Chains A and B, each alone.
Chain A
Amino acid sequence: MPTIRERWSSRSSFVFAAIGSAIGLGNVWRFPYITYQNGGGAFLIPYFVALITAGIPLMILEYYVGQETQRAPPTALKKIWKKSEWIGWFSVCLVFLLSTYYSTIMSWCVNYFYQSFTLGWGSTPEAINNFFNNTLLGKSGSPGILGGIQMPVLIGLAITWISIYLCLFRGVKILGKIVYFTVCIPWLLLIIMVIRGLSLPGAIEGLNFYLTPDFSVLLKPQAWLAAYGQIFYTLSLAMGTLIIYASYQPKDSDITANAFITSLANCGTAFLAGFAVFSTLGYLAQSMGVSVPEVTKSGLGLAFVTYPTAINLLPVASRFFGAFFFLLLLTLGIDSAFSEVEPVVGSIVDKWGLKKKWVLPLVCIFGFLVGILYSTRGGFYWVDLADHFICNYGITLVGLLECIVIGYVFGARKARSCINEVSDVRIGPWWDVFIKFITPIVLGVSFIMQLIKLIQNGYGNYPIWTIFTGMGFIVLLLILSVILSRRKGVSDE
């Protein structure tokens, strides 16, 4: 007997869930830095071009696949083209691994949130650096030396996985209500952080570094590739999340406007986050008597070293704003974290007809167990390596294959007419061009360039065996995906 598919309680629940999935930690610590590094305000031009020519078309495509098939990624792609089920499994395997290290980064945020009440990370930049690298992570110096488990990280990891389980276990109806909080609270916190940042001395100097355009970068291919890369990862594309979320929508729901709202809300949040980050960096630079570029960092360094340094220097309520910042990261990250688990659970449930109430805890426990690797003293390096290989090679490959399947095998024109049938805002033939040519070419070029760079220079200062392990793992996941796609499921019987 066919089971009734779960449904979002309203259109806004779905849109909020998709926005929550897209808005993550990268909006705060990646976008502002990439903008600054690639010509400041001028970067907005390639960024918007990438959004229109790749981000939104691919998001429309994923919404269409999920909504039309009413299935999780593997079975959805199988319905589109029988031979493409493995692509869905490949994306599911990748997103599961992504969730295991993403939850570890969340665990670091949990620890910092706890420390923010006492400013326990130290008072000088050196002390904060020491707190992050030695006290919290206990870095071993090499990925080959795992060392012991760092208990605070492991406890934070357990808290993160329990939170993921609690958000998902009551199904999408309750999830639809949770996302209102996990999306609106970070927006509110971000606005407070922006106001606070702008009121600090030196803030304007920071914003000048963020937005002053250098139009010469428009002639550099690196800036364009950075824009396409940023758009691709920030919108949670090719991870299976958007397909599974859209599969809980009724078949006649609007697609195009939802895709535009989701992507613009995500990019708008990243743009706003830049004001919070650069106004604070401007203040930090002025307080330390150095220039803004000297304190500007990206990623983990920005969140876990630079920002706490700035928080320490705040004239009033530094503990309060410290807690605010890490609560912002936690609320930003949690909806991305559970959106990475949902495609895994949904795919298993859809393929083998198992009960979600059994699959979800097993996936969470397994995710936690894998996360123990990242909680070791060598874990930091494995987080970095996993992120590099999964995002730059795995997910890019999935995006490329999705475009080929829909654009050439299924037919972009056919898909477009189905999308226009249910959408208020109609899309024209430009969508076919983007799906068939622009997006696959950009993803293909990006994939090849990353591969050439890896072969020529390796990655970071890591030993060569870690490169083989990373690439070997991607190949292993490909083989596993093919095996999973060949297993009989309930839909084959």
Chain B
Amino acid sequence: MNRSAIVMLIFGSLILYGGLAYFIFQAAKSRHLANKKKKRIF
């Protein structure tokens, strides 16, 4: 593969899969915090 195609491959992957991983992590973190809160209440 030529160099410019590889750059675009990295650019696309970083935004799409990096962004996806970040928001999944955020969702998992908020779920973890919500579970912790519940435990404290009961």
Asked if B2 and A41 sit within 8 Å, CB to CB, the answer is: no
- Shortest Cβ distance from residue B24 to the other chain A in the assembled complex, whole angstroms: 6
Residue contact B27 to A264, C-beta cutoff 8 Å: no
Task: Note all chain A residues with C-beta closer than 8 A to B8.
Answer: 40-42, 44, 211-213
Residues of A within 8 A of B1 (CB): 204, 207-208, 211
Report chain A residues within 8 Å CB of B2: 208, 212
Partner of B20, one of A208, A261, A424: A261
- Cα–Cα, bound, A265→B26 (Å): 15
Determine whether the beta carbon of A260 is less than 8 Å from that of B11. no
| B31 CB to nearest chain A CB (Å) | 7
Contacts of A211 in B (CB 8 A): 1, 4-6, 8-9, 12
In the complex, how many residues of chain B place their beta carbon closer than 8 angstroms to a beta carbon of chain A?
23
Assess whether B16 is in contact with A267, with CB atoms less than 8 Å apart.
yes
Nearest chain-A residue to B16 (Cβ)?
Answer: A268
Residues of A within 8 A of B9 (CB): 41, 211
How far is the CB of B28 from the nearest CB of chain A, in Å?
10
A residues near B19, Cβ cutoff 8 Å: 260, 264
Name the one of A44, A261, A424 contacting B11, with C-beta atoms under 8 angstroms.
A44
User: Is the C-beta of A271 less than 8 angstroms from some C-beta in chain B?
Assistant: yes
Interface residues in chain B, defined as those with a beta carbon under 8 Å from any beta carbon in chain A: 1-2, 4-9, 11-13, 15-17, 19-20, 23-24, 26-27, 29-31
> Which residues of chain B are near A41, meaning CB under 8 Å?
4-5, 7-9, 11-12
Q: A11 an interface residue at 8 Å Cβ cutoff?
A: yes
Q: A213-B7, A425-B26 are in contact. List 4 more A-B contacts (CB 8 A).
A: A208-B5, A261-B27, A268-B17, A424-B30
Please, how many angstroms separate the alpha-carbon atoms of A44 and B13 in the complex?
10
Per the 8 Å Cβ criterion, residues 239-276 of A in contact with B are 254, 257-258, 260-261, 264-265, 267-268, 271
> Using Cβ atoms and an 8 Å threshold, which residues of chain B touch A267?
16
Report the 8 A-B pairs with minimum CB-CB distance, sorted nearest first: A41-B8, A211-B5, A264-B20, A268-B16, A260-B23, A424-B30, A212-B5, A211-B8
CB-based nearest A residue for B8: A41
A-B contact pairs, 25 of them (CB 8 A): A11-B27, A11-B31, A40-B8, A41-B4, A41-B5, A42-B8, A44-B12, A48-B15, A207-B1, A208-B1, A208-B2, A211-B5, A211-B8, A211-B9, A212-B4, A212-B5, A212-B8, A254-B27, A254-B30, A257-B27, A264-B16, A264-B23, A424-B26, A424-B29, A424-B30
| CB neighbours of B6 from chain A (8 A) | 211
Q: A257–B26 Cα gap in the complex (Å)? A: 8
Chain A: which residue is nearest B31 at the CB level? Answer: A11
Chain A residue, CB-CB nearest to B33? A424
In the complex, A48 Cα to B26 Cα: how many Å?
A: 21
Least CB distance from A206 to B in Å reads: 10
Q: How far is the CB of A140 from chain B (nearest CB, A)?
A: 42
Query: Contact at B5–A207, with CB atoms within 8 Å?
Result: yes
Q: What is the bound-complex CA distance between A260 and B20, given in angstroms?
A: 7
Shortest Cβ distance from B5 into chain A, in angstroms? 4
B13 nearest in chain A by CB position: A271
Most chain A CB inside 10 Å of its own CB: which residue of B1, B16, B26: B16
